[in-house]
Structure 1
Amino acid sequence: MDNDCPFCAIIEGTAPALIVAETADTVAFLDRRPVFKGHTLVVPREHVVTLPELPERLLAPYFASVQGITRAITAGLGAQGTFVAVNNVVSQSVAHLHTHVVPRTKGDGLRGFFWPRTKYADGEAEQYAERIHAAL
């Protein structure tokens, strides 16, 4: 646990939150500033800052919780779908890994991704694919 982390405080029960689900490895609670009502954050109980730092032993339990919340939001709120997102460092408002699960309905006003799209120049996509592949 990180004493300065607001999500660790929620996990420990020392900060208020509307918790919707808990497992041995995760906690899910409503976002205080939701994109849409029902917007839920899923966090690992272990203080981990970014997805690349999440220990392999927690990958399956963590994403099983994300998957469960995704199902619950569509079933429980009548959402037609969800938007699921993780920020790593850039745009990460709290330095504790968290996955946003946002309920979606057609015509809700959310337009795809929140940023402009770009295009690859001829041959450039292959170069990016190779760079990523080489880093693996």
Structure 2
Amino acid sequence: RDLKEPPPGRSCSWRFRVEAGTRVAFEDGACGAQAFLEGRDFGDFVVWRPDGVPAYHLACVVDDALMGITEVVRGQDLLRSTARQILLFRALGWREPCWYHCPLVTDEHGHRLAKRHDALSLRTLRERGTVAAALRCGWTEG
């Protein structure tokens, strides 16, 4: 955690240090009041990868800030990530967007639809004539 230089011949990742006990609270448009605590919910996190590429949280924050994004709508599976991103917005002196974490689209067993599991995409469902209202009501093919 306190290493100043990488070992010879090795690259390293850069982490954002979170002070012990830091609490991040925010209001989510869908999920209501949220609070995450360092040590329980998250800790120091990578902002720059060893391959020289910005990590997910830093990339999201920089993109959102530079594009003037004021509202972020994404799945509930990313709710916990919001605390880290809020810390980055604050550290960089940028205004945080409003957050809205919507429920995931799931199959009949409650598992999220994901490309990596060969789930039908929303585009495919739309091309087959499935209407959005049917998805919201829980309708599935077959």
TM-score by length of 1: 0.29
**Structure with greater helix percent:** 1
Structure exhibiting the larger radius of gyration computed from Cα positions: 2
The TM-score normalised by the length of structure 2 is 0.28
